[in-house]
Amino acid sequence: MKPNYYFITFLFFILIISMLNFLVELNAYTPNHAENSISVMKQATEDFKVVDYPISLITLEERCVDEQNQQVKCHQLQDIQNGDILITKSNHTLLYRHGHAGIVLDAEAGLVLEALGYGTSSRLESLEKWDYYPTVKVLRLKNRTEETISELVKRAMSDFLDINYNLIATKTNMNLTHCSDIVWKVFNAIGVDIDSNGGWLVTPKDISQSQYLYEVESYGFSDERAW
């Protein structure tokens, strides 16, 4: 009987995908809660572990779960204000830990502008879901004023909803976007370039290192490794 090369190829592909996703976990910094409950995972209300949830064929998202594998909050974000940028590195595709980003447009109502993935368009998501990511940073614009943030929210609501997702959307293309791209475009619309390296493509890491932002609070990020 001839070997089924299609089946063998499929199994080999699955093995490679599994190995790559294992390797990317080695590049992650998600501290053990029991050992870092004060310095890193402060405000957590109960013990948890971190697991991967698939959001596409090759893209995974980390969430905190309890002993029954039910999702639980890893922490409780505090003092969130309109215009704050939320960054997580808990999203990865194969060897690329790209992370995710969003911008708070209504802190009181708990609404965050996000671009999530292919087949979707930019929309308002729940602020609360960010408590379930094991890694989160809250970044805030330096020298902010009420007028600046009001204009930022106004522009975001009027010009940056319902834009189709594309992972390689560029800064100059206003018809396509992705998570960090839309955050950059909203700030750029009010004259603030928060891309730290000025490349044609902006990533959550680029935004996290912007000179125009300062860190308000952080969970699950290493002091030794910024990303």
The amino acid that residue 131 corresponds to is D
In contact, 106 and 81? CB cutoff 8 Å = no
pLDDT, mean of each 10-residue run, the chain (227 residues): 65 65 50 38 58 79 87 91 96 82 97 91 96 94 96 97 92 94 97 94 94 94 72
Report the alpha-carbon distance of residue 125 to residue 137 in Å, rounded.
17
- Listed in order, strand segments (DSSP E) in 70-148 are 85-88, 91-93, 100-106, 111-114, 123-126, 136-141
pTM for the whole structure: 0.80
CATH number of this structure's domain 85-219, picked from the four choices 3.90.1720.10, 3.20.20.140, 1.10.287.990, 3.40.50.150: 3.90.1720.10
In contact, 171 and 180? CB cutoff 8 Å = no
